[in-house]
Amino acid sequence: MSIQTGTVAPDFSLFDTDKNKVTLSEQKGKNVVVLFFPLAFTGVCTAELCNVRDNITLYNNTNAVVFGVSVDSLFSLGKFREEQKLNFQLLSDFNKDAAKAFDVLYDTFPAFEMQGVSKRAAFVIDAEGVVRYAEVCPTPGDLPNFEAIQQTLNSL
């Protein structure tokens, strides 16, 4: 069942590229943007995350922490983060627990018939842990609506 606005976000604990465990419920008091993306080192994913990198001040100004989440290993995500000079954490959902909890896992990814790849999706979670914005992109080639994400953050 897809995550709806107004519901409490499912909790998860994932490792970041610095090998620290990050737990969503421990972010209370901050707004959180969770960006699920299919695969590191791909064109659309790079464009998406570099857009966030280039506009990180907008997120910082709304007391928001951004997490990019992918099923890639934390090691490949670390290399991707380093190469793209990303200024926010990437979290490895290698076991696909978060993608399943947020209901954003492809049965079969459209490219190359891969199974277990997360859909591109964006969630804004307020300081109390409630989902205030939820978007699952129709295709992997679509980007989230960054303007709507910012409007949501500005309203919190």
Catalytic site positions: 45
Extended strands (E) in the chain: 13-16, 21-23, 31-36, 64-70, 89-92, 121-125, 131-136
Residue whose C-alpha is closest to residue 40's, from 28, 48, 31, 51: 48
Separation between Cα atoms, residue 78 and residue 55, nearest integer Å: 20
Kindly state the tokens that stand for 11: 């909790």
Separation between Cα atoms, residue 153 and residue 145, nearest integer Å: 13
User: How many alpha carbons fall within 13 Å on the CB side of residue 122?
Assistant: 23
Classified as helix, coil or strand, 150 is helix
